[in-house]
Amino acid sequence: MMGTKMRIKPTVLLGYLVPTVLLAFLPMAGFPRAWTLYVFLFAIYLAMANMWNLLAGYSGLVSLCQPAFLGIAGYAMVIGTWLGIPWGIGLLGGAVIAGVFALLLSNAVFRLTGVYFSIGTLVVPEALRMVFYLWRPVGGALQGGGSGYMVKGAAALLPPSYIYWMALLVGVGSMIIMRIVLRSNLGLGLAAIRDNERSAAACGVDVFRLKVYTFVISATITGLAGGIYFLNMGYIEPSATFNVKWTMAILLATVIGGIRTEEGPFFGSLVTVFLYFLLARYSGYSLLIQGVILIVIMLLSPQGIVGMLRKMRWYRNLTAYSEG
């Protein structure tokens, strides 16, 4: 593959920096606590949606095992607090463990293609849910059903603003990672694989290696976002962790915004957070409602919000300028 020169215009960097700095001051500006919660969830969904977009949108890997990565990282962080491991090391270690798990898993699931790959990855979170129901990794009183544990020690006393800033950094960092990856040799290889895997392999692209790289990157960032989420929750248990609701939220954020677009997860995550609070009172039907919304969006506007925006001249001019 030919090399590409990575170039990001200063105005694009400011486009990341200025909103991030403004949002970073939100906890100290006296705004209602609910506002920081909205931004926190938005940043978590944004990171996870960007990573799923990298897999499904740009690599053609429709993976449904993202809850497994965030759950493994979350449990690693929480269990670490019970074992006396500093929460920061547990958080980063959990993300690394999620990446290693993806590396080990890839040897099996990459033998499958198409819908079989999706089904194969779908059973992973369910299998882990049963494992964690039966496995009690540390002593002490369990909280709730299965291996449910509270965050312990200094991590439980972290100021909410610290956790908010971590989520914000991960959300913005996921956008920067996407931009770097898509403009690198890895991004070129992924585009070739997505368009025609056999042709890409015939042209010398190491298909398996690039898929593994993408899978591990996605798992690591998703795991880091999951660890921060459960650090904020202060509690983790199998049923809510290895749950299809996470898969649905990630799919919604990506598809509503626009799959295979860099801006899509940003807009989609905004809508997903809105739906999260709007449908809270209909918890028994929320997955059904989200599923209907997902199908309608895929039928009416396959490119989501970004697809509609790209029909407007001002938006096309703006994105063309940012691309340089």
pLDDT of residue 111: 86
Residue 159 has a pLDDT of 92
Rounded to whole angstroms, how far apart are CA atoms 157 and 6?
41
Cβ burial, residue 285 (10 Å; 0-12/13-18/19+): exposed
pLDDT at 92: 97
Q: Residue 4: what pLDDT?
A: 44
What residues contact 111, with CB distance under 8 A and at least 6 apart? none
pLDDT at 139: 59
Q: Are 88 and 97 in contact (CB under 8 A)?
A: no
pLDDT of residue 213: 94
The CA–CA distances, whole Å, from 1 to 14, 194, 200, 307 equal 31, 15, 10, 30
What residue segments make up the domains of the chain, in order of their start? Answer: 10-243
State the Cα–Cα distance between residues 309 and 78, nearest whole angstrom: 42
**C-alpha angle 132/129/158, rounded to 5°?**
65
d(CA 143, CA 134): 14
Residue 2 is predicted with a pLDDT of: 41
Please report how many Cα atoms fall inside a 13 Å half-sphere around the Cα of residue 208, on the Cβ side: 9
pLDDT along the chain (324 residues), means of 10: 50 70 86 90 97 92 94 94 93 97 94 90 94 74 64 90 96 93 88 82 86 95 97 92 93 92 92 88 80 82 81 67 58
- The DSSP symbol for 57 reads I
User: Token match 């920061």: residue?
Assistant: 88
Residues near 51 by Cβ (< 8 Å), separated by ≥ 6?
66, 174, 217, 218, 219, 221, 222
Give residue 3's pLDDT. Answer: 44
- Give the pLDDT score at 51: 97
